[in-house]
Amino acid sequence: MAKKLKEVLDDAGISMDLQYGGESPEGLTEREIKKSPHPRVQKLKDIFMDTLSSANNEFPYWYTREYMMHDNEIPVVRRAKALRTAFSHLTPVIFPGELLVMRKASFFRGSFPMPWLSEGFYMAHEDDFYQEALKRGSASVDEHSKFGQGGGNVTKSFGKVISIAGKFGMRQEEVPALLKLAKMWAGKSVDDLGNKYEKMVPEYPVKEQIMRSIVCMFDSGFTLPQGREVINYYYPLEYGFDGIIKMATELKAEVAGKADGDGMVGMNRLYNYEAVIIALQGVQNWIANYSKEARRLEKLTTDKIQKKEYKEIADRLDWIEHNPPRTFIEALQMIETIHLAVLNEDAISGMSPGRIGQILYPYFEQDIEAGRITEDEVIELLELDRLVKTSIDCFASTGVVGGVLSGNTFNTVSIGGVDRFGQSAVNRLEYLILEAAVRNAMPQSTIALLYDEKIPEDFLMLAMDVIKSGAGYPAFMNSPIAQEFLMKQYGPEGMNLEDARAWAIGGCLETSPCAWKPLHLNGKEYFIPGGAGQPTSVGVHFISMPKVLELTLFNGVDPRTNEKVYEPHNRKLNSYDEVWDQFTKYWQKSVEVLAWTNNIQHDIWRKNNMAVINSLLKPDCLDNGHLINELGYRYNGTFNIESAGTITLVNSLAALKKLVFDDKVVTLAKLKEAIKDNFGFKDAREVNSFSLADQEKRDDSAGKWEELHFKTLQAPKYGNDDKYADEILLQWENFFCEDSSKYESLYGLKMYPCQISVSTHGAMGSATLATPDGRLSGTTFADASMSAYPGTDRNGPYALLNSATIWDHSKSQNSQLNIKIHPTAVRGIEGSRKLLDLTRAYMRKGGFHVQYNIVDSKVLKDAQLNPKNYRDLMVRVAGFTQYWVEIGKSVQDELISRTEYEGV
């Protein structure tokens, strides 16, 4: 029997303890706080728990049919017409017991492909186009991405159901139609057109190699062109759809034939307003179809209560099809509808509702005052909202949805923060949002608490209870730090302090620019916050820092494939400074070529596939007549550069510096030999475990690398308040934050750093050899950007916080710290208080983000062995909460192995 690393270390008397601060109690420890949703919600939730992610062709069929009829139409109008036809033909589905209706597609949990973005991977394997897609580097990521095998994922075909992209089930009867549609878009999709033109970038071959070697995880231009932003519900809430159409019609007449001093795009305002009107007509038809369906069901059912509810649903839909909402439930239905409309317009992950507690507050306040609704009824509706949001799937390739997102859609709700005048923005409705989030604990909407010193103590303590329910939310985000970042990045576009205060999280933890707008309800004015910026899911996404270091050490060649990725540097790497210098040069080469090629993809997207519905919602498109593609949004400098594997890189550089250059206990040549030989261990995929401790020694290794491996594992590690490693983090952050602003997006604006890794630490780790810090080949990187590598933070949580705050977090859009704590460590009010103290300490030190998994690692191990018993177990992965059974094995292994704090 091959020995596991943990056993090898035990034999040598070296501890590899994944617990800190004592021993966890024996047996499986349950989470402390547990509540149940309202019976109506529970019934629908039971259905959800047994529902498969399903896809059909209705939307793409009608979109394509209409689009192909308008060859010579102005692109924005052509797109709007296709959208109108597609929305008008979506079959409505309503389920008994629902109060909030409308779904993405005609299933409880449905979605559909968008071949106009990328058609290649829908095709059968033998198809020429698919083969062509495979030849492209970006396809190789799918090999390293695996969905969880349980929950709603359709990972394998069965019966009459075909598994598409490793997650979605499609009826066999529909697959030939999908292939037919896909072929119609061959050569025309954003993917194909983008690829045609990105090849004209002289460095394109480098990009292809970068993608093939998984130095970079995905192309953002055609996979998820929008998202990780905050939506804005203001205009429909204030004016209603008829009001917006009236406004656009009047403005159309005002601008027709006039350039108004803008010879480039001034004339386009006419077509843009026309497109707005057409697209909204589609949304109105979609609502009307749902209303008709509700009235049909009203007639069909014999149950009196259900009959009444169907009637009320139809009445509400009839009203919001044309008018601004009058009540809380109408407003909630309206924002639900708008949200789904935007998600159906494009492949989007991370369309976050933003601060809905503050957006819906006017309706809540007036309904409560008038006795039209009770708080309990509001909680029930908020529980239903969570069900609707969790049922949303995002249809994209396996590599993107599985490897990057773990199937998550990041419909993050933000709570807290400050108002326009800098005072706490917390209101009563936000307490109820937290309450609903415990009662109906589901992955969506995950919650971000925008921390400010002025937030009331009882609200923060309630948040601690929610965290202790094990839901993983709310995560804490530092509001003043975010505002500092926003002022720096968007100051040149006119951001002032008031707008900075309106910010919210878009996606999992992306600081997103927002703005205030005056909402009027029954003669009272309220200023509500909403998104005012472009997507932040765009730019250069997920560069694997450990892989760039590997390529630095191996002279530009990927030792896994023996393919040349970068031009050889031919340097001797005789000092730490030389290694660092070469690492930054390869990093910059990667960013440069990825920025150029992604700019081309996004440019194709904006020419043919621009957002119409999302644009009309965002300030100031309706006012200025320009949509996203013509810089109509108030804030447009949202393109960014995303890193992955920060701490694995920091630990690796620390080990190199210490062992090779300072202490000279090993030569670089010898260390490289050991890395190539994986320190005498098998590859993680062979072992089928992706955590370090479980790796197995090869029989033929004969202890050749044992001593060196121990030394690498014992070299200084980040997370211990040890300057040796932490200063390398500082060096990286100072470089990265300044370097990112040297690259320009297609909108002519500078980029910035983004430090979330979502689930890429699993897939990217899978394609990376052993690293100088002792991590073995194929295992995951450290998660997030500020989390310690599992088992290496030996000085307690406060030491970890010190390490994480060695640099200025306001220089980056975000940073991310995940901490795992055993439930017994934070039990009772005393435990909540300790957790809040820890959180507050981090915020006061200038940390941007922290989130907690309050879970017993033994429960996770049991869940991995017996997934059927844990259908509803949720865990915090990286900026989002997901069902355990719906995440891939590598990330499960990494979650199990994260250091578990037994005391804080």
Residues of this chain that bind other proteins (CB under 8 A): 47, 51-55, 57-58, 61, 65, 68-69, 88-96, 106-110, 152, 154, 159-161, 169-171, 173-177, 180, 289, 293, 297, 300-301
Q: How far apart are CA 707 and CA 22, in angstroms?
A: 28
**Which CB atom, from 164 or from 549, has the smaller least distance to other proteins?**
164
Please pick, among 394, 508, 621, 737, the residue that the annotation labels catalytic: 508
Asked if residue 106 lies in contact with residue 728, where contact means CB atoms within 8 angstroms, the answer is no
| Closest to 766 measured CA to CA, from 665, 881, 888, 895 | 888
Q: How far apart are CA 863 and CA 521, in angstroms?
A: 49
The answer to whether residue 754 is catalytic is: no
Q: How far apart are CA 273 and CA 4, in angstroms?
A: 64
CB neighbour list of residue 819: distance below 8 Å, 6 or more residues apart: 787, 797, 800, 850, 851, 852, 853, 901
Classify residue 518 by its DSSP letter: E
CB of residue 831 to other proteins, shortest distance in Å: 40
| Closest to 677 measured CA to CA, from 655, 712, 709, 654 | 709
* Strand 54-55 to 110-111 pairing: parallel
DSSP 866-885: -GGGGTT-EEE-SSSEEEGG
**Which CB atom, from 235 or from 286, has the smaller least distance to other proteins?**
286
In the three-class reduction of DSSP (H, G, I as helix; E, B as strand; rest coil), residue 504 is classed as: strand
- Output the six-digit token pair for 827: 């039990």
| Closest to 777 measured CA to CA, from 829, 705, 833, 838 | 705
**Which CB atom, from 43 or from 524, has the smaller least distance to other proteins?**
43
CB of residue 395 to other proteins, shortest distance in Å: 14
Query: How big is the CA angle at 707 (ends 704 and 708), to the nearest 5 degrees?
Result: 90
CB of residue 136 to other proteins, shortest distance in Å: 28
**Which CB atom, from 95 or from 491, has the smaller least distance to other proteins?**
95
Distance of CA 219 to the CA centre of its chain: 15
**Which CB atom, from 58 or from 435, has the smaller least distance to other proteins?**
58
CB of residue 175 to other proteins, shortest distance in Å: 8
CB of residue 389 to other proteins, shortest distance in Å: 17
CB of residue 89 to other proteins, shortest distance in Å: 5
**Can you give the length of the chain in residues?**
904
CB of residue 329 to other proteins, shortest distance in Å: 22
**Which CB atom, from 93 or from 368, has the smaller least distance to other proteins?**
93
Q: How far apart are CA 475 and CA 366, in angstroms?
A: 30
CB of residue 93 to other proteins, shortest distance in Å: 5
Residue with tokens 């690498």: 712
The answer to whether residue 510 is catalytic is: yes
| Closest to 633 measured CA to CA, from 645, 623, 644, 643 | 623
Q: How far apart are CA 105 and CA 393, in angstroms?
A: 10
For residue 540, what is the enclosing H or E element? strand 539-544
CB of residue 276 to other proteins, shortest distance in Å: 23
- Rg of the chain, C-alpha, whole Å: 26
Query: How big is the CA angle at 80 (ends 79 and 84), to the nearest 5 degrees?
Result: 120
Q: How far apart are CA 797 and CA 482, in angstroms?
A: 23
**Which CB atom, from 110 or from 645, has the smaller least distance to other proteins?**
110
Q: How far apart are CA 162 and CA 150, in angstroms?
A: 16
Q: CA separation (Å) from 854 to 262, 318, 759, 903?
A: 56, 44, 19, 12
- Output the six-digit token pair for 68: 């192909």
**Which CB atom, from 109 or from 560, has the smaller least distance to other proteins?**
109
Asked if residue 644 lies in contact with residue 764, where contact means CB atoms within 8 angstroms, the answer is yes
H-type helices in 677-766, by residue range? 684-687, 706-714, 723-740, 760-766
CB of residue 286 to other proteins, shortest distance in Å: 9
For residue 17, what is the enclosing H or E element? none
**Which CB atom, from 72 or from 522, has the smaller least distance to other proteins?**
72
Q: How far apart are CA 137 and CA 139, in angstroms?
A: 5
For residue 856, what is the enclosing H or E element? none
**Which CB atom, from 179 or from 449, has the smaller least distance to other proteins?**
179
* Strand 524-531 to 216-218 pairing: unpaired
**Which CB atom, from 154 or from 340, has the smaller least distance to other proteins?**
154
Please pick, among 66, 484, 510, 733, the residue that the annotation labels catalytic: 510
* Residue 150 zone, left/alpha/beta (φ > 0; ψ -120 to 50; rest): beta
Q: How far apart are CA 467 and CA 855, in angstroms?
A: 10
Query: How big is the CA angle at 477 (ends 485 and 456), to the nearest 5 degrees?
Result: 120
**Which CB atom, from 47 or from 373, has the smaller least distance to other proteins?**
47
**Which CB atom, from 163 or from 766, has the smaller least distance to other proteins?**
163
Distance of CA 534 to the CA centre of its chain: 15
CB of residue 705 to other proteins, shortest distance in Å: 50
CB of residue 358 to other proteins, shortest distance in Å: 34
| Closest to 3 measured CA to CA, from 696, 694, 686, 700 | 696
Q: How far apart are CA 779 and CA 842, in angstroms?
A: 29
The catalytic residues are 508, 510
